[in-house]
Amino acid sequence: MVKKSHGYRARTRALMSKRVRKRGLSPSSKLLIDYKVGQRVDVVIDPGVHKGMPHRRYHGRTGIVTGLRGRAVVLDVGLGNATKKLIIRREHLQPSRG
């Protein structure tokens, strides 16, 4: 029997893969968005960038910006009854429309 893997990116074959014509790095305009404290943002993982990538359980969730830290943004994201503090790079964020 082979043991089940429990890695950080386990069972993410579809989630962290890009379509054929979207491969490579995302446009640099995504990095130039200014996030302000109190703004709502969506966590959308960009598999082309490994640095500052959040865990897959946060993909698709919405959080509130609580601070800026260098190239990264500090978010408060709800997960069940708990509120988690995440440090995520801008490549994996987009402004929330809702």
Q: For residue 36, what pLDDT is reported?
A: 97
Sheet containing 82-89, strands listed edge to edge, beginning at the edge strand earlier in sequence: 82-89, 72-79, 62-69, 40-43, 93-95
Q: For residue 92, what pLDDT is reported?
A: 96
> What is the domain partition of the chain in residue ranges?
20-95
Q: For residue 98, what pLDDT is reported?
A: 75
Q: Tens-of-pLDDT digits for all 98 residues of the chain?
A: 899 999 999 999 999 999 999 999 999 999 999 999 999 999 999 999 999 999 999 999 999 999 999 999 999 999 999 999 999 999 999 999 97
If DSSP codes are grouped into helix, strand and coil, which group holds residue 52? coil
Fold of 20-95: SH3 type barrels. (2.30.30)
| Helix, strand counts (H, E) of the chain | 0, 5
Residue whose C-alpha is closest to residue 75's, from 29, 35, 46:
35
The residue ranges of DSSP E strands in the chain, in sequence order, are 40-43, 62-69, 72-79, 82-89, 93-95
